[in-house]
Amino acid sequence: MTLFLIVLLAALVFEYINGFHDTANAIATVVSTKVLTPRQAIVWAAAWNLVGALAGTAVAKTISSGLVDAHAVDMYTVLCALLSAIVWNLFTWWLGLPSSSSHALIGGLCGAALATAQGNWAVLIWSATDAKGAHAGLWPKVVLPMVSSPLLGFAGGALLMWLLTIILRKVTPRVVNLIFGKAQLLSAGFMGFGHGSNDAQKTMGIITLALFTGTTSGAFKDLPEWASFLRLTEFKAIPLWVVFTCALTMAAGTAAGGWRIIRTMGHKMVKMQPVHGFAAETTAATILYATASLGVPVSTTHVIATSIMGVGASKRLSAVKWGVVGRIVWAWVLTLPVTGLLGYTFVQLMRTMGH
Ranges of beta strands (E only) in the chain are 128-129, 135-136
- Predicted local distance difference test score (pLDDT) of residue 252: 77
The Cα-based distances of 294 to 95, 145, 251, 289 in angstroms read 33, 11, 24, 9
- Predicted local distance difference test score (pLDDT) of residue 213: 85
Residue 333 has pLDDT above 80, yes or no: yes
Q: Which domain holds residue 232?
A: 2-352
Lowest mean pLDDT among 50-64, 143-157, 260-274, 331-345: 260-274
- Predicted local distance difference test score (pLDDT) of residue 108: 95
Of residues 69 and 96, the one with the higher pLDDT is 69
CB 219 within 8 A of CB 75: yes
Within 13 Å and on the Cβ side, how many CA atoms surround 154? 11
- Predicted local distance difference test score (pLDDT) of residue 342: 97
- Predicted local distance difference test score (pLDDT) of residue 41: 79
- Predicted local distance difference test score (pLDDT) of residue 21: 67
Lowest mean pLDDT among 107-121, 132-146, 255-269, 307-321: 255-269
- Predicted local distance difference test score (pLDDT) of residue 287: 94
Residue 289 has pLDDT above 70, yes or no: yes
- Predicted local distance difference test score (pLDDT) of residue 321: 67
Residue 271 has pLDDT above 70, yes or no: no
pLDDT band at residue 78, thresholds of 50, 70 and 90?
very high
Residue 74: burial class (beta carbons within 10 Å; 0-12, 13-18, 19+): buried
- Predicted local distance difference test score (pLDDT) of residue 261: 60
- Predicted local distance difference test score (pLDDT) of residue 83: 96
Of residues 220 and 242, the one with the higher pLDDT is 242
Residue 50 has pLDDT above 60, yes or no: yes
Distance of alpha carbon 355 from alpha carbon 351, whole angstroms? 5
Mean pLDDT of the region 78-105: 87
Distance of alpha carbon 107 from alpha carbon 332, whole angstroms? 12
Give the distance, in angstroms, between the CA of residue 121 and the centroid of all CA atoms in the same chain: 25
Mean pLDDT of the region 332-340: 91
- Predicted local distance difference test score (pLDDT) of residue 154: 92
How many distinct structural domains can be found in the chain?
Answer: 1
Mean pLDDT of the region 306-319: 81
Range list of H helices, 258-299: 259-263, 274-293
Mean pLDDT of the region 162-179: 91
Residue 324 has pLDDT above 70, yes or no: no
Mean pLDDT of the region 139-161: 91
Other CB atoms within a 10 A radius of the CB of residue 223 amount to 15
Highest mean predicted confidence (pLDDT) among 27-41, 70-84, 192-206, 215-229: 70-84
Highest mean predicted confidence (pLDDT) among 32-41, 91-100, 161-170, 220-229: 161-170
- Predicted local distance difference test score (pLDDT) of residue 226: 72
pLDDT band at residue 25, thresholds of 50, 70 and 90?
low
